[in-house]
Amino acid sequence: MTSLSQQANHKVSFFSIFKIFFSLGWVSFGGPAAHIGYFRHAFIEKRQWLTDEEYGQLVALSQFLPGPGSSQVGFGIGYQKGGLTGGIAAFLGFTLPSVILMLVLAIVSSQLTDASYFQHVIHGLKLLAVVVVADAILGMYNSFCQQKLTISVAIATAVALLLLPTLATQVSVLVIAALIGGYCLSNTKPVEPQNFSIKQVSITPLALFLLLLFGLPLVGQWSSQVQLFSDFYQAGSLVFGGGHVVLPLLQNIVGDQLSQDSFLTGYAAAQAVPGPMFTFATYIGYQLLPSSPIAGALIATLGVFIPGFLLLIAVLKNWQQLASLPKIAGALKGVNAAVVGLLISALYQPVFTSAITVPLDLAWVLIGALLLKQFKLPIVWLVALFALAGLATPIVQNLI
């Protein structure tokens, strides 16, 4: 079969990829689940860079690897359209807005995050995340859940994660879905593997990942900068299950070097700004290297992101080739259905539960869904409207 990404198989320049992801980086509120929705809208529906099947494979792969899931998905999209430099452009573009905002927040501390109007704007943007995630679920459900078995896998995954929302449950349901798909869905025609212009051997990034993982602790005493990079690299190598898992790991790294109030302020800020939550490391790095705080922020940020990207590069090329095998293609179909279940559970917790507190919130969400699906309003306009809705919510609530 001919995929949409093969129809538009031309390579995209570094600057073009950077520009697209930089724009997304300023408006991608709501965490990893919402980011998957934003990416799907931007690169499947709007630009047709990938098919839903290829995108689902990339999302599924990011669930199996440690690191920032949504950023790995973005890196993978950039990698497929522009090689290694395209992946770097996607990472820089999507992450830079969040890094800038976290640096500003680190400088001004908690003065802005404590302001009531800021909290109202953030609340409105959380409501937009409900719309985006729900839209992603609908689109991916229509693509991946066309049989009784795949529908059952998606619902069973959602039920399992809603009742037992742990990392072990997430990994278990993905493995079970892969086994079910490999056994029961292997007669489906596989997705044709992608052809990449970058002819890197997969063992190279894997070897570099292991070298840094085990070698950095041995040379950390050379300087405070090297030790800082080592600490955050170790954290990034161990984070399975999304951005929130990085909290306890970074807390162990920080120890008594940072006050609890300052640490939690940074954590709250990371949830409030758009882009990847892993830029929490930007805030912490700024605080941990007072002699050169900007350098500390950048070192910590690179340290926590790099391991996940090295592993993605190591696996991605073979992953696409393996996807052409019937058993693997069937397993991927099962995992894609499970990813829909993952998003359904994420729509409820944390997206829905953190955003919908009063009936008016649900009313804003329904209006947003209408504007997105029927009137095709661009995301940037929806961001502005939902920011205003957040500011207006307490006023309207007092009138009704």
Q: How far is CA 70 from each of CA 75, 93, 373, rounded to the nearest angstrom? A: 9, 13, 23
- What is the residue type of 7? Q
SS (H, E, C) 328-342: HHHHHHHHHHHHHHH
> CA-CA distance, 34 to 28, in Å (whole number)?
7
How is 199-211 classified by DSSP, letter by letter? ---THHHHHHHHH
Upstream peptide bond of 350 is cis (omega within 30 degrees of 0): yes
| Side-chain-side CA neighbours of residue 134 (13 Å) | 17
Phi-psi bin for 109: left (phi > 0), alpha (psi -120 to 50), beta?
left
Instruction: Report, in angstroms and rounded to the nearest whole number, the Rg of the chain calculated over CA atoms.
Output: 21
Q: What is the pLDDT of residue 248?
A: 56
User: pTM of this prediction?
Assistant: 0.73
Q: What is the pLDDT of residue 109?
A: 66
> CA-CA distance, 33 to 271, in Å (whole number)?
13
**Block means of pLDDT (10 residues each) for the chain, length 400 residues?**
48 93 89 85 90 85 81 93 94 96 82 73 84 86 91 96 84 89 75 42 85 91 90 81 58 71 69 83 90 93 94 80 75 85 85 89 96 85 89 91
Q: What is the pLDDT of residue 2?
A: 41
| φ/ψ of residue 284, rounded to 5 | -65, -45
* Beta carbons of 278 and 206 less than 8 angstroms apart: no
